[in-house]
Chains A and B, each alone.
Chain A
Amino acid sequence: NIVLTQSPATLSVTPGESVSLSCRASQSISTSIHWYQQKSNESPRLLIKYASQSISGIPSRFSGSGSGTDFTLSINRVESEDFSIYYCQQSYSSLLTFGSGTKLEIK
């Protein structure tokens, strides 16, 4: 199975800062990585697909990059509504896997 390792586990930031969240795959997965946001007591929401493709309705401050084994979700100037948990997920294999998540919290 493809293992996804997200870092850091928790990221404490001040609103207005820009941040980068990391997701590393245990083997090369091309650009078959997708990012989700999950707010407390809500269903996950797709933010970015195929490493860098934007999703309709998602604010432009969210962007993704990377290929192979190293991927990054960037948030430009974090807003209060962005404090939540972020997961990466791979679809390179039919046996889907998720990362363990990065919690973005207010400093």
Chain B
Amino acid sequence: EVQLVESGGGLVQPGRSLKLSCAASGFTFSNYYMAWVRQAPKKGLEWVATISTSGSRTYYPDSVKGRFTISRDNAKSSLYLQMNSLKSEDTATYYCARHPYGGPGGDYWGQGVMVTVSS
């Protein structure tokens, strides 16, 4: 059974940093692209980052480029999202998703982790 479990969320002040983690199991992690998708309260889904199987290629929307960094550790079947210079508009539930290459942004999703950026 595919499982994705996020952790690391919480309350953080504007301008500070936070690192999210996602532990994957039930599939060969190193064979899949992975992605982070977020959802602000009462809002729609927004793609945040994608990483290739080896980690050599990463993609971001303009809204987070230069502030967020996606990474992975295939030996630990783990995905990460380093978030720097956080803004109030980054407040959202962050989902880890398995992203088949060229396919759905997420064929499997984690339960999500809440990040609140507030002073």
Contacts and interface: CB of A to CB of B under 8 A. Distances in A.
Interface of A: 1, 32, 34, 36, 38, 43-46, 49-50, 55, 87, 89, 91, 94-101
B55 to A, nearest CB: 15
Nearest to A43: B109
Could you tell me the dominant secondary structure of chain A's interface residues?
Answer: loop
Given A43-B95, A43-B110, A43-B112, A96 B44 contact: no
Contacts of B103: 34, 49-50, 91
Interface stretch (B7-15, B45-53, B68-76, B80-88): B45-53
A96 B102 contact: no
A87 B44 contact: yes
A49 B104 contact: yes
Given A43-B111, A95-B59, A98-B44, 4 more contacts: A91-B105, A96-B35, A96-B59, A98-B105
A19 B91 CA distance: 34
Contact of A98 (B46, B50, B109): B46
A63 to B, nearest CB: 16
B66 interface: no
A95 B61 contact: yes
Interface centre among A38, A43, A49, A55 (most CB of B within 10 A): A43
Contacts of B112: 43
A46 B104 CA distance: 8
Contacts of B110: 43
Going nearest first, the 6 A-B pairs with the smallest beta carbon separation are A96-B47, A34-B104, A43-B109, A98-B45, A96-B105, A94-B59
